[in-house]
Amino acid sequence: MHYNERTIIEGLVYHFNNYYRLHQSLNPIVKDKYTDQARSQNWITINSMRHELTAYLNRMGQFYFYAKSDSVTDLGISYEIEMPEILRFIPLRHKLTAHRAFDNPRKNEEINQIKITDSHFHGGAYMLINGRFIVQLKHKNDVISFDLIKEHSKIISEAKKLLDLIEDKKQI
């Protein structure tokens, strides 16, 4: 096992911890209602949360590309079977943080597939619901909703299980 795979997981944990710490520091007004007044009162925190969320999704993308690499699939491991949660959310990384389809739609990718409700996070809906930031993306006739606080433990669990499976396969 290379050092970098574990480093990706450490990066996911790092960005989640930063995001969660920022979330905890939000003014209670913001946690209840995402208004222009609340946004202006907590702009630095909200903006920092967006950056941490973007970094988290990009780290998740790094792990995704590692999991689908030849070094993993040659062991007979199917990333599609082993990481359903990561696969469910990877379009957010591809469309919002890496490729930004809003700016540069690719072939057969219509801009109207992408729902925008907040101009500060182009390409996806970025909302505050019950004190939690949720990112939504319309993708292939489905809406993907991502709540980092809710999904983090599942993503980390899948990533660690995949690394353990890789280690087991390499020992055989």
What is the pLDDT, as a whole number, of residue 84? 96
What is the pLDDT, as a whole number, of residue 38? 62
Give me 3's structure tokens. 């050092």
> Is the predicted pLDDT of residue 101 greater than 80, yes or no?
no
Model confidence pTM above 0.85:
no
| 34 or 121, which is more confident | 34
Range of the domain at 26: 3-171
How does the average pLDDT of the chain come out, rounded? Answer: 80
State how many domains the chain has.
Answer: 1
Instruction: Return the SS3 of 121.
Output: coil
Helix runs in 34-108, H state only: 36-41, 43-67, 70-73, 79-82, 84-92
| 89 or 38, which is more confident | 89
Read off the pLDDT of residues 39-66 as tens digits, 9 standing for 90 and up. 666 778 878 888 999 999 999 999 999 9
Read off the pLDDT of residues 109-161 as tens digits, 9 standing for 90 and up. 554 434 333 334 444 566 766 667 788 887 778 888 899 999 999 999 999 99
> Is the predicted pLDDT of residue 86 greater than 80, yes or no?
yes
Task: Please state, in angstroms and rounded to a whole number, the distance separating the CA atoms of residues 34 and 129.
Answer: 8
Task: Please state, in angstroms and rounded to a whole number, the distance separating the CA atoms of residues 146 and 129.
Answer: 12
**Side chain identity at residue 71, one-letter code:** S
Give me 154's structure tokens. 């599942």
What is the average per-residue pLDDT within 81-98?
A: 90
What is the average per-residue pLDDT within 78-107?
A: 81
